[in-house]
Amino acid sequence: MKVKFIVALIMTIFVLGGCAMNNDKESKSSSANEAKEFPDVAAFEDEFTREFLESTQPTREGYYSFLSKTGAYKMDFPEGMKINDKSYSIDPDKNSEVVIFSSQNSNGTFIDHHVEYYSFINDPQHGRDQIEGRVGVEIKFEEVPSNYDQKLEIAEYEYENSSGIVSLITKDGVDGQIQTFSSLRCSNDVEENVCKQQIEDEKAEIKKWLKSIHLISKESE
């Protein structure tokens, strides 16, 4: 029986040829070498964050082009920040994606951005309610002009030791929406007045940054 087994195997091998097993992974050259070619900023130093960045050419000073893994949106990514792979999540059917990124070294202000995409939430009112629910204080959304053909609504809130800016991005004719949450806080050693000023400056910068987030309509892909 054993002999037959082997004969059958050998016979079949010629039929099969070499068609089996061809998913060799592309061999990656050592990342240490590659890293040298990247801009010397926190975003590119982190391997996980790098996976999202489309180009080493900045889109404007301090920002690089980011493409979400769902392919649902693009935005400018701040060079001094890093995506936390532990809290990153994307569902298997690419219907939702949560990206959380934080400042790495700071001049006294620390920022966390949460950019969350949901393909199944369409109603802007639902989005606004959810955002308000999650920040837990009453907020007022204001529509601001966006760089793209979409609707950008922004609201601000204050906690005792930190402040935040949230936004909702929707687009007529495109399913889904983006909800963003940015929180800002000063380190303990910063004086209150200085902190206030820094936060104000950063807020202005964040408002500018929010305009770079844009939903990609599936048709235009």
Partner 1 sequence: MSEDIISGSEFKTRLIDLGYKDLSLKELELNIRQIYMEENGELLEADIEILKSSDIESDFVKDSGYDGIAIHINTVEKEEVYVISEGTQDLPDWLYNIKAMLAGQTIKQAQATDVFVQEAKEHFNVDDNVKVNGLSHSLAHNNNTIALLSFDNVYSVNGAQLNYYQLFNTDFRFNDAVKNEFSFNTDDEVYNLSPQDLHDFAMTYYGDKADKIDQVISTDDPLYAVSVVRGFFTLGSITMVDTNPDVPGLRELIADIPDDVIKDFQELAIDFAVASNQGGTNEGIKELIGIDVGAFKDKEGMELAGHIIANYDTMVRALNEKLPPLLDRVQTVTANSDEIFGSLEEAGYITERQKEVTVDHLTRIEKSLIDIENILKDNVNLRDKLNNPFLGAGNEIVTILRLASNLVEIYMSYVEIEKTGILKRLESIKDSHGLQEMLSSMSDGLKSYIGADMIYTSTSTKGEPIKVNISAALRMYQKSIPILEAKSTKISNFEKAIKDELDESYKDEKRKVQDEIDQVESSPSSYRFLLSKHGYYPTFNKEIKSIRVHEIFYPLEDNDFDEQLEELKKSVESGKLYIEKYRQAIEDLFEEEENVSQLFDLSRRI
List interacting residues with partner 1 (CB under 8 A): 1, 4-6, 8-10, 12-14, 16-24, 27, 82, 84, 86-89, 91-93, 95-96, 98, 100, 102-103, 106, 110-112, 114, 118-123, 126, 129-130, 133-137, 159-162, 164, 175, 181, 183, 185, 187-188
CB of 191 to partner 1, least distance (A): 16
Q: Coil, strand or helix: which one is 116? A: strand
Nearer to partner 1, 96 or 217 (CB): 96
How far apart CA 64 and CA 87 sit, in angstroms, is 21
Nearest to 150 by CA among 38, 43, 75, 47: 75
Q: How many CB atoms lie within 10 A of CB 83?
A: 23
Nearest to 119 by CA among 54, 179, 49, 182: 179
Nearest to 217 by CA among 118, 104, 73: 73
Element (H, E) at 156: strand 151-158
Nearer to partner 1, 59 or 216 (CB): 216
CB of 146 to partner 1, least distance (A): 23
Nearer to partner 1, 18 or 173 (CB): 18
Nearer to partner 1, 26 or 37 (CB): 26
CB of 57 to partner 1, least distance (A): 27
CB of 145 to partner 1, least distance (A): 26
Helices (H) and strands (E) counted in the chain, each on its own, are: 6, 12
Q: What is the DSSP letter of 118?
A: E
Nearer to partner 1, 13 or 60 (CB): 13
CB of 165 to partner 1, least distance (A): 12
Are the beta carbons of 83 and 49 closer than 8 angstroms? yes
